[in-house]
Amino acid sequence: MEDSHSEKNIKKRSLISVLSLFFQSGYSAALGLASNLILTIVLPPATFGIYILTLSAISFLNYFSDIGLAASLIQKKEISDDDVKTTFTVQQILILILIGLAMLLTPLVKNIYQFPEEAVHLYWALLISFFLSSLKTIPSIHLERKVQFQKIVLVQIIENTVFYIAVSVFALAGFGLTSFTYSVIIRALVGTTVMYSLFFWMPRIGISMKSLKSLLSFGLPFQTNSFLALAKDDLIMLFLGKILGLEALGYIGWAKRWAEAPIRIISDNINRILFPVFSRIQHDKNRVGRILQKIISYQSLLLIPIYAGMILLMHQVVFLIPKYSKWAPALPIFYLICISAILSSYSTPFINLFNALGKVRLSFKFMLYWTVMTWVLVPLLTQFLGIYGFPVTLVFLSLTAVVIILLARRMVPFHFLLSVLPAVVASLIMSSVVLLISQLGTSYQIFLIASVVGVVIYLSVLHVVFRINIISEIRSLFSHE
Could you tell me if residue 92 is inside a domain?
A: no
Could you tell me if residue 66 is inside a domain?
A: no
Q: What whole-number percentage of the chain has pLDDT above 90?
A: 31
What's the pLDDT tens digit per position in 192-211? 999 999 888 888 888 888 88
User: Rounded to an integer, what distance in angstroms lies between the CA atom of residue 397 and that of residue 139?
Assistant: 36
**What letter would DSSP give residue 281?**
S
What's the pLDDT tens digit per position in 146-179? 766 678 778 888 988 898 889 889 988 889 889 8
What's the pLDDT tens digit per position in 272-317? 666 566 656 656 677 777 878 888 888 899 899 999 999 999 999 9
Could you tell me if residue 403 is inside a domain?
A: yes
Residue 458 pLDDT > 50: yes
pLDDT given for residue 481 in this prediction: 44
Could you tell me if residue 3 is inside a domain?
A: no
Instruction: Sort 259 into a burial class: Cβ within 10 Å, 0-12 / 13-18 / 19+.
Output: buried
What's the pLDDT tens digit per position in 81-91? 888 888 888 88
What does pTM read for this prediction? 0.71
Number of folded domains that form the chain: 1
Parent domain of 439: 277-481
pLDDT given for residue 44 in this prediction: 83
Residue 70 pLDDT > 70: no
Per the prediction, the chain carries an average pLDDT of 82
pLDDT given for residue 186 in this prediction: 94
Please enumerate in sequence order all residues whose Cβ is within 8 A of that of 157, keeping only pairs 6 or more positions apart, or say none: 24, 27, 28
pLDDT given for residue 214 in this prediction: 75
Could you tell me if residue 375 is inside a domain?
A: yes
pLDDT given for residue 129 in this prediction: 87
Please enumerate in sequence order all residues whose Cβ is within 8 A of that of 37, keeping only pairs 6 or more positions apart, or say none: 321, 324
Of 107 and 470, more confident: 107
User: Rounded to an integer, what distance in angstroms lies between the CA atom of residue 443 and that of residue 438?
Assistant: 9
pLDDT given for residue 104 in this prediction: 94
Render 322-345 in DSSP notation, one character per residue: TT-GGGGGGHHHHHHHHHHHHHHT
**Residue pair 273/18 in contact by the 8 Å Cβ criterion:** yes
Of 271 and 103, more confident: 103
User: Rounded to an integer, what distance in angstroms lies between the CA atom of residue 373 and that of residue 300?
Assistant: 27
Residue 261 pLDDT > 90: no
User: Rounded to an integer, what distance in angstroms lies between the CA atom of residue 453 and that of residue 314?
Assistant: 16
What's the pLDDT tens digit per position in 227-251? 676 667 777 888 898 899 888 988 9
pLDDT given for residue 5 in this prediction: 47
Render 94-154 in DSSP notation, one character per residue: HHHHHHHHHHHTHHHHHHHHT--HHHHHHHHHHHHHHHHHHTTHHHHHHHHHTT-HHHHHH
Could you tell me if residue 11 is inside a domain?
A: no
Q: What's the rounded mean pLDDT across residues 247-261?
A: 90
Range with the poorest average pLDDT among 34-48, 393-407, 410-424, 432-446: 34-48
Residue 480 pLDDT > 50: no
pLDDT given for residue 301 in this prediction: 92
User: Rounded to an integer, what distance in angstroms lies between the CA atom of residue 222 and that of residue 230?
Assistant: 13
Nearest partner of 206 among 64, 93, 100, judged by Cα: 93
Kindly tell me the number of DSSP H helices and DSSP E strands found in the chain. Answer: 22, 0
What's the pLDDT tens digit per position in 177-192? 898 899 989 988 999 9
User: Rounded to an integer, what distance in angstroms lies between the CA atom of residue 277 and that of residue 6?
Assistant: 11
Could you tell me if residue 83 is inside a domain?
A: no
User: Rounded to an integer, what distance in angstroms lies between the CA atom of residue 347 and that of residue 405?
Assistant: 7
Could you tell me if residue 357 is inside a domain?
A: yes
